[in-house]
Structure 1
């Protein structure tokens, strides 16, 4: 039928046209997976310029790209930080495609809200972030701003502080949540003999505090200064509550009981032998008990001492010392003298004002007997009495040093006044007062605090009422270790003294520290008046070794064409 013929004809024509079209497309299609970019477009941007967006695209018009290339371009545009979402689509254009990027811009930053901070004020945090409002929000700028905040926290010692969250609301407000590193609990590890309470009482950081590395480091130095630990480690780990931490203090105890035998030589006392028994951690409470015996051709000495740095857990120090010593052929006040001295003293120390400042009260009693070879000048006879003396000393000190064993920064200042006899009783003829002031300063010369300038200024005067006498053995002596190295021990004496010690301390051979030093000073006013003051000096070099018995210091000093050597425990100041 005619209508069937017509339908078949139409079907054939449609088939031919379809085949013809497929054939044409096959001739113009690029290699599989590729397409040619003939145009770019951006949609959805209001505040970010189109050219700024397209500058992030890693290819240009005419490039042959794959879907992976498109994905990379989306990442590059998103990395600009201005958008919450970026998409792409294509449509035919000329002999390729037009690549269209659809962006969703972040809102305008209307304000910043800070929560979780307590040690750093909000105003300070906002100034550090430096993200002005009224501009389109940028995630990259936010990341940099938050990094500056964490860096600032770390610079102030709050190394556990972290940005917990930063979220931008659709209305344009940025909420920043800070976890400053609150200490949930402190765990003491590694102590076997030492009572845990003894360790905890030395810590200034407590549960509930914000972790601060500087404060914890100061506490570590205090634990080292107890001289009962060979190592103190600090770690922190996440607590059971969000943003809080556990602070772990791991101590390694060292042997604190010792029996020591030794020998030495001094230009003043010749050969000497030494025996000492001591324990720096009696009953695990950081109390020190020591018994010492020293003997030689020109000297014998014994002492019994006790020290409790925190007597009865009331932050009061207590010390007691009983001693007896004899010297033979000692040069005192220009005469060869045998001296016998026995006595005792006790000290009570209390904090005042703050943790750095203390006052100490020390009553004491001493009995002295001198036996002088040869005839004593009548003018000097009354300066050399035998008798008993009662004393009371008050000392006010301030100590900000980072440690006492080998200070790297901080200072120590003290002033003391002591009364001997007078209103305390005893001989009314031999009555006097002594006033001593001392200042030590430690200045780090590099960030590591390995190179340090250490200086000490020290001086004293005596107040002797009219008609009273100050015995020669209670006057000040300068010369030798502890005053001016390089000159003869106790060479200069008198009612007044002044010394200055200056050292440059530095790393030496591995495990040791070296020192270059200059000492100056004098003591005067013994049997003469003020004009006899004359400055004496010595220069030298020292080295400090770490030994199982503690740091040992060996010095060599030169003065007035003479060289002298010294041996002692730790730095001289």
Structure 2
């Protein structure tokens, strides 16, 4: 019947369609989910070109791919940074599938909001980010911009600063939250003898400050300069409050008390013995106390000294020195004499203007007595400083050096004026004033400050009222370790002096530093009314070693056919 013929025809046609689809599926996804890509399409993009999106796809038309390949292509498109979401779907196309990517674009960036910053202004942060508005937002560009911000913070010393969050609103505003590294608390570790307060008073960094490496490094150098620690370490760890840190100062104390015994012989003083006791961290308060004894057939010497760099915790230094020495049967000023000298001095120092500038006042008293069995020519009185000497010295200095042990940068400048006797009383015959100026400069030659040019210029003059005498004992001396190396100690003397020292300091063998230096200078005037200046020079090499007792400097210098060696604690200037 016709209707039965119609039903059979429809059924046959349906089977043909099913077989056709089945054949297509077997060709497009032949075994284990493989697909042949015959076309690409992108949906949802308005601001990013389709070809730019498809350029990120790692395969092309005609490629046989798997679902894993599709997932990798989604990651590649997402990695372009322009999209908040990327999906994929397929539909049959010709002898394979059309792969369609559905993207959700980021909004147009309308503005950037910064919060949490205090040490770096917002305008500067936006300038460093250099992230333009009015364009589609890109996460990759944002990451680079935020990295530039952290790098800039680090370049300014704020190495603990971090970007805590960056979120983009649907309306196109980027909110950046910065944690600059606020110090929640400072912990002092490793101190057993040293009072914690003594360490804390050297720190300019306080809780509540933003951590700055440069500032902390300066504090570390101040702790080293106390000469009571062999090592100072700094660490920071997350605080209990978001974005804040704990700053740990870990010190390693060194032995500060010493007892020294020694013996020697010289043609001037014959056999001598020496005993010294010292502690530069007395009672754990960074105070220095020393007692020295020296005795022999022709000499005896006793001294007691005390120094407190922060007297009574008022940022004022105090020092005192008491001494007494005697020499017997020595040639002084052309006469065989016995000399007795006793005296004391005190110093009071405190800052003025700012933390780099200090003034010091030092009163002193000394009594000198020379005795001889020989008659003394009145013309030789200048060489025989019998009598009492009362002195008062005022000095002002400015010190911007990064450290005093081994400066790598900064300068030190000072001027001192001293009055001996005169209006202070004392022996009326001996009255004079001294003026001394000094300037030191340290210039780093590389960013690590390992190679340094160091220089010092120093000079002094004397003012002697008419009819008064300045004994040789109080004149200036040049020659030796502290002035011009290579020249015999104190070879030149006079009422005036000028010296210049120039060194190139550099890293040497592991744990040591080397130096090449040249010294120039002279002392002149003597007992003459007119100066007679003549320049003297020395050149040499040196090496500084780090020892348990502190840095030790060994120098060798050459001058006018003479070579001399020197040994001392630390750099000469």
Cα distance 1:8–1:368, how it changes in 2: closer, same or farther (>3 A)? same
Aligned pair in 2 of structure 1 residues 28, 201: CA closer, same or farther (>3 Å)? Answer: closer
Does the 8 A contact of 2:521 with 2:537 survive in 1? yes
Unaligned runs of 5+ in 2: none
Counterpart contact for 2:82–2:138, Cα < 8 Å? yes
Q: CA deviation at 1:395?
A: 0.8
Change (3 A) 1:98 1:469: same
State how far apart, in whole Å, the 1-side matches of 2:481 and 2:374 are.
29
Distance in 2 between the 1:210 and 1:167 partners?
24
Pairwise CA distance, 1:67: 1.2
Confirm or deny: 8 A CA contact 1:337 1:371 kept in the other structure: yes
SS of the residue 2:127 aligns to: helix
- Deviation sequence 1:164-216 (CA, Å, 0-9, x none): 11111111111111100000011111111111111111110000000011111
Range that drifts further, 439-448 or 140-149: 439-448
Pairing 1:224–2:224 present: yes
Q: Offset of 1:334 from its aligned partner?
A: 8.0
Query: Closer, same or farther in 2 for the Cα pair 1:20/1:251, shift >3 Å?
Result: closer
The corresponding residue for 1:469 is 469
Q: Secondary structure at the match of 1:531?
A: coil
SS in 1 for 2:99: strand
**What are the superposed Cα offsets for residues 413-458 of structure 1, whole Å, 9 maximum, x if unpaired?**
1111111111111123321111111111122222222222211111
Q: CA deviation at 1:127?
A: 0.7
CA separation of 1:492 and 1:267: change in aligned 2, threshold 3 A: farther
> CA–CA distance in 2 between the matches of 1:262 and 1:109?
79
What SS is found at the alignment partner of 2:204? coil
SS at match of 1:390: strand
Residue 267 and residue 197 in structure 1: after superposition, are their counterparts in 2 closer, same or farther (change >3 A)?
farther
Q: Compare 233-242 and 15-24 and name the one that shifted more.
A: 15-24
Distance 1:316 1:21 in 2: 97
Query: Alignment partner of 2:205: what SS?
Result: coil
Q: CA deviation at 1:21?
A: 5.8
CA contact (8 A) 2:382 2:472 kept: no
Instruction: Determine the structure 2 residue equivalent to 1:161.
Output: 161
CA contact (8 A) 1:460 1:497 kept: yes
Q: CA deviation at 1:263?
A: 4.8
Contact kept? 2:27, 2:95, Cα under 8 Å: no
Partner of 1:33, secondary structure, is: coil
Unaligned runs of 5+ in 1: none
Contact 1:479 1:489 in 2 (8 A): yes
CA deviation map 1:4-43 (0-9, x unaligned): 9987897677567745764675467534311111221212
Q: Give the secondary-structure state (helix, strand or coil) at the position aligned to 2:31.
A: coil
Contact 1:452-1:505 within 8 A present in 2 as well: yes
Change (3 A) 1:55 1:20: closer
- Would you say the 8 A contact 1:167–1:176 is kept in 2? yes
Q: Deviations over 1:346-373 (max 9, x none)?
A: 0111011111111111000011234689
CA contact (8 A) 1:299 1:327 kept: yes
The equivalent residue for 2:360 is 360
Asked whether the equivalents of residues 380 and 527 of structure 1 are also in contact (C-alpha less than 8 Å), the reply is: no
- On the 8 A contact 2:28/2:36 being kept in 1, the answer is no
Q: Tell me the equivalent position of 1:237.
A: 237
Deviations 1:231-251 (A, max 9, x none): 111111111111001111111
Using a 3 Å threshold, how does the CA distance of structure 1 residues 200 and 491 change in structure 2: closer, same or farther?
Answer: same
Q: Distance in 1 between matches of 2:342 and 2:534?
A: 33
* TM-score for both structures, normalised by structure 1: 0.93
Deviation larger for 439-448 or 192-201? 439-448
**Partners of 2:350 and 2:308 in 1: CA distance:** 12
Q: Assess, with a 3 A threshold, how the Cα gap between structure 1 residues 18 and 173 changes in structure 2: closer, same or farther.
A: closer
The verdict on how the C-alpha distance between 1:20 and 1:486 changes in structure 2, with shifts beyond 3 A counting, is: closer
Residue of structure 2 in register with 1:79 after alignment: 79
Report Cα offsets for 1:65-88 as digits up to 9, x if no partner: 111111111111111111111111
Cα offsets for 1:143-167 (capped at 9, x unmatched)? 1111111011111111100001111
Deviation at 1:262, TM superposition (A): 3.4
CA positional deviation for 1:380: 4.0
